[in-house]
């Protein structure tokens, strides 16, 4: 990284927040193809194991560690009725907050944010909490996601069980 802005401008912070809120809305509305369009071709989407949130995903097991092709396959799979774990789809409502810009260059913005996801499925309600880490690429009027890392604050997934939807 080169120059780092200690105090991002209000416009930049607002633009980043609007982008993250837009992304959250696309996922909650199951507009997953549009969500996929927010990612670069060299993107990664990662959900590390809950007992090793800081581990290198290339060296250890992760709940999710997708490149672009795997992410496309995940979206196709989630949209099919044969994806029994998500058919009918979970109803989710996520809140993204405490958005902070950690570093900014002309080519990249490092962002962190907290999340709370409430999920309703088959008469059960679960809550997932954690932190997002993003590497955003500035574009003409918005951003693209080069890296998204969703770190769950849970020390285990029970009673929620498996992750069958987009965190």
pTM value is 0.88
pLDDT tens across the length of the chain (167 residues): 444 555 555 668 999 999 999 999 999 999 999 999 999 999 999 999 888 778 887 788 888 999 999 999 999 999 888 777 778 888 999 999 999 999 999 899 999 999 999 999 888 898 999 999 999 999 878 999 999 999 999 877 665 556 788 88
Is the C-alpha dihedral spanning 41, 53, 161, 20 positive or negative? negative
Give all strands (DSSP E) within the chain, no chain letters.
39-48, 62-67, 91-104, 109-121, 124-138, 143-152
The predicted structure's pLDDT at residue 17: 96
- The H-assigned helical ranges of the chain are 10-28, 32-36, 68-79
- Of 20, 28, 36, the closest CA to residue 120 belongs to 28
In the chain, the N- to C-terminal Cα span, in Å, equals: 28
DSSP designation for 142: S
Domains in the chain, please, with CATH? 13-152 (3.10.450.50)
The predicted structure's pLDDT at residue 161: 57
User: Rounded CA gap, 64 and 46, in Å?
Assistant: 5
Q: Are 100 and 16 in contact (CB under 8 A)?
A: no
Other Cβ atoms within 10 Å of 165 Cβ, number: 21
The predicted structure's pLDDT at residue 115: 98
User: Rounded CA gap, 14 and 19, in Å?
Assistant: 8
């Amino acid at each position: 990284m080169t120059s780092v802005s200690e105090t991002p401008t209000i416009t930049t912070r607002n633009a980043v927040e609007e982008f993250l809120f837009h992304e959250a809305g696309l996922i909650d509305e199951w507009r997953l193809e549009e969500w996929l369009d927010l990612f670069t071709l060299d993107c990664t989407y990662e959900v590390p194991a809950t007992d090793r949130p800081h581990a290198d995903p290339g060296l250890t097991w992760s709940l999710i560690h997708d490149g672009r092709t795997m992410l496309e396959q995940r979206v196709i799979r989630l949209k099919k009725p044969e994806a029994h774990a998500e058919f009918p789809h979970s109803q989710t409502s996520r809140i993204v907050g405490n958005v902070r810009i950690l570093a900014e260059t002309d080519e990249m913005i490092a962002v962190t944010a907290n999340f709370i996801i409430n999920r309703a499925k088959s008469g059960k309600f679960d809550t997932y909490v954690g932190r997002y880490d993003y590497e955003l690429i500035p574009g003409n009027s918005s951003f693209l996601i080069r890296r998204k890392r969703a770190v769950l604050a849970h020390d285990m997934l029970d009673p929620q069980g498996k992750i069958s939807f987009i965190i």
